[in-house]
């Protein structure tokens, strides 16, 4: 990977970029952000919370990041947790301690928005209680009703943000009296809500919570900042910014497979609101696509493989959640979904990850359309679970390849069938595959300046 700072050809000013997942999460965003970090000055999370699990492998060291941007593993970068993120203060402290224990510098290089909303323990209780209630009603996780959340309190924390009167922001943790006043108003109502959900929890004592979270706030004080001014000061000074999406486009609250989504705008559309940086400042969007599909939790998944092929992908791809350890549902690549995400996110280029996992199959399938229950076919994605009932995939079948890809360092090293597979993606989706990842390590990645489609 070349070590350049990307500049706009026209004005010479830095081009800010975004990394976003084009499927249902776990596409390898952490790995790609870590790789691209050398080219940018600031790395910014703008959405989600500790529901994200971004894995970065540096040599033998493997890091799982949940709230802190993946840029933290490179020195000399400013890592920003934007106002659109929901922060679990104790989780972020654990993450800071864990990184420091492994020799990673975490100091002034980590800035957390004073306006990011706080995930409190009662949010996690609410999340779990609602999921359990709905699971009991429907019989199993992910069946109609329960979402199959990570139980990290994400939905309830964003609900409080939208409700306003019961919300806490990171800046509130720095003022004990204010925090206590707010918790006094919140706790009674929250107990009633938890009881209505059938949760058995200890009474919420405002003073206890205020003491506990003001203490967390004190430890986080050196990191808490007005990140909107910070970012604009950096941009004015000519520094470049890389936005790190968490979750993924098909989990976006507005544009994903509703209601089986998360509670934030995790497509690139969340960047302006979640960071305070206008969308028009973003010059390049990298859409991260794994070479097949996975999802965790409930919801539509047209190309899901419930057979030995799905199990083989799960084993080869080690498809178990970074955050919850749950086995991920696996299936063939769904280009109807990917093309939709490219459109919504305005992706300019694809980074294709986990291509190595597909070695050893005689043939590979790619979904190019959905057949509805009445037999008609559509090439449009429908971001609504109710309206995707009964959809089955229309596949193109491509020849597979046998060779392992982990040592490929260049597009020409790839078997011709792998190049054709990527060429098919480019032609169908309409944007180039610029990065190819063939293993979890930084070094197992290469750039391609020529289109794969030209080689088909």
Q: Which of 57, 159, 322, 392 binds Mg ion (CB under 5 A)?
A: 322
54 is catalytic: yes
The nearer residue to Mg ion, 44 or 296, going by C-beta atoms, is: 296
The nearer residue to ligand IMO, 304 or 427, going by C-beta atoms, is: 304
Across-strand partners of 42? 78, 241
251 contact choice in ligand GDP, Mg ion, ligand IMO, none (CB below 5 to 8 Å, kind-dependent): ligand IMO
356 contact choice in Mg ion, ligand IMO, ligand GDP, none (CB below 5 to 8 Å, kind-dependent): ligand GDP
Give contact residues for ligand GDP (rule: CB under 6 A). Answer: 21, 25-31, 53-55, 57, 322, 353-354, 356-357, 437-440
- The C-alpha atoms of residue 188 and residue 158 are separated, in whole angstroms, by 19
Active-site residue (options: 16, 26, 160, 334):
26
- The C-alpha atoms of residue 123 and residue 88 are separated, in whole angstroms, by 10
Q: Is 148 left (phi over 0), alpha (psi -120 to 50) or beta?
A: left
Structural contact between residues 153 and 126, judged by C-beta atoms closer than 8 angstroms: yes
For the chain, how many residues are written? 456
150 contact choice in Mg ion, ligand IMO, ligand GDP, none (CB below 5 to 8 Å, kind-dependent): ligand IMO
**Is the torsion defined by CA of 144, 150, 151, 153 positive or negative?**
negative
Q: Which of 69, 148, 217, 439 binds ligand IMO (CB under 6 A)?
A: 148
CB of 246 to ligand IMO, least distance (A): 4
| 262 is a contact residue toward ligand IMO (CB under 6 A) | yes
What residues numbered 74-133 form the site for ligand IMO, per CB under 6 A? none
- The C-alpha atoms of residue 172 and residue 213 are separated, in whole angstroms, by 10
154 contact choice in ligand IMO, ligand GDP, Mg ion, none (CB below 5 to 8 Å, kind-dependent): ligand IMO
16-21 and 433-437 as β-strands: parallel, antiparallel, unpaired?
Answer: unpaired
| 26 is a contact residue toward Mg ion (CB under 5 A) | yes
Active-site residue (options: 34, 41, 54, 127):
54
| 52 is a contact residue toward ligand IMO (CB under 6 A) | yes
| 53 is a contact residue toward Mg ion (CB under 5 A) | yes
Q: Residues 442-456, buried b or exposed e (16+ Cβ, 10 A)? A: bebbbebeebbbebe
| 53 is a contact residue toward ligand IMO (CB under 6 A) | yes
Q: Which residue number is nearest to ligand GDP in terms of Cβ?
A: 55
- The C-alpha atoms of residue 334 and residue 302 are separated, in whole angstroms, by 8
Nearest to 260 by CA among 156, 371, 155, 335: 155
438 contact choice in ligand GDP, Mg ion, ligand IMO, none (CB below 5 to 8 Å, kind-dependent): ligand GDP
CB of 404 to ligand GDP, least distance (A): 10
Structural contact between residues 313 and 319, judged by C-beta atoms closer than 8 angstroms: yes
147 contact choice in ligand GDP, ligand IMO, Mg ion, none (CB below 5 to 8 Å, kind-dependent): ligand IMO
What is the pattern of x (binds ligand IMO, CB under 6 A) and - over residues 302-331?
Answer: --------------------x---------
Q: Which residue number is nearest to ligand IMO in terms of Cβ?
A: 297
Number of continuous H segments (helices) and E segments (strands) in the chain: 11, 20
What residues numbered 229-248 form the site for ligand IMO, per CB under 6 A? 246-248
The tokens 């003491």 sit on which residue? Answer: 211
What does 213-247 look like in DSSP terms, one character per residue?
HHHHHHHHGGGEE-HHHHHHHHHHTT--EEEE--S
- The C-alpha atoms of residue 110 and residue 118 are separated, in whole angstroms, by 17
Q: Which of 154, 157, 347, 408 binds ligand IMO (CB under 6 A)?
A: 154
Residues annotated as catalytic (active site), given as ranges? 26, 54
């Amino acid at each position: 990977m070349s070590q350049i700072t990307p500049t706009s050809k026209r004005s010479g000013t830095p081009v800010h970029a975004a990394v976003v997942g084009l499927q249902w999460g776990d596409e390898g965003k952490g790995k790609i952000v870590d790789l691209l970090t050398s080219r940018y000055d600031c790395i910014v999370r703008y959405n989600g919370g500790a529901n994200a699990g971004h894995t970065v492998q540096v040599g033998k060291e493997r890091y799982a990041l949940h709230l802190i941007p993946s840029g933290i593993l490179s020195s000399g970068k400013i890592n920003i947790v934007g106002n659109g993120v929901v922060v679990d203060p104790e989780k972020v402290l654990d993450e800071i301690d864990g990184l420091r224990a492994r020799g990673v510098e975490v100091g002034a290089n980590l800035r957390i928005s004073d306006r990011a909303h706080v995930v409190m323990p009662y949010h996690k209780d609410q999340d779990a209680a609602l999921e359990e209630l709905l699971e009991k009603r429907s019989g199993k996780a992910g069946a109609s009703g329960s979402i199959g959340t990570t139980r990290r309190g994400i939905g309830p924390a964003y609900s409080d943000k939208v409700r306003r009167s019961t919300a806490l922001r990171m800046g509130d943790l720095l003022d004990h009296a204010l925090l206590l006043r707010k918790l006094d108003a919140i706790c009674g109502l929250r107990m009633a809500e938890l009881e209505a959900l059938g949760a058995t929890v200890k009474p919420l004592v405002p003073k206890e919570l205020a003491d506990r979270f003001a203490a967390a706030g004190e430890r986080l004080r050196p990191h808490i900042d007005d990140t909107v001014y910070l970012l604009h000061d950096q941009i004015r000074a000519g520094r470049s910014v890389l936005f790190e999406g968490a979750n993924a486009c098909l989990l976006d609250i507005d544009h994903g497979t509703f209601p089986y989504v998360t509670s934030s705008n995790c497509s690139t559309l969340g960047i302006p609101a979640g960071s305070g940086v206008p969308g028009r400042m973003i010059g390049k969007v990298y859409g991260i696509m794994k070479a097949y599909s996975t999802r965790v939790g409930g919801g539509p998944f047209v190309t899901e493989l419930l057979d030995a092929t799905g199990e083989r992908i799960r084993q080869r791809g080690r498809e178990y959640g970074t955050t919850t350890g749950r086995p991920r549902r696996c299936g063939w690549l769904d280009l109807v979904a990917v093309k939709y995400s490219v459109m919504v996110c305005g992706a300019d280029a694809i980074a294709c990850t986990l291509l190595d996992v597909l070695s050893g199959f005689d043939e590979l399938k790619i979904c190019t359309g959905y057949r509805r229950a009445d037999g008609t076919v559509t090439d449009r994605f429908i971001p609504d679970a109710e309206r995707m009932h009964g959809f089955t995939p229309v596949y193109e079948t491509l020849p597979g390849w046998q060779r392992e890809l982990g040592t490929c360092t260049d597009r020409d090293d790839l078997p011709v069938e792998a190049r054709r597979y990527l060429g098919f993606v480019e032609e169908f989706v309409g944007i180039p595959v610029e990065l190819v990842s063939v293993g979890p390590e930084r070094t197992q990645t290469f750039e391609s300046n020529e289109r794969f489609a030209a080689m088909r």
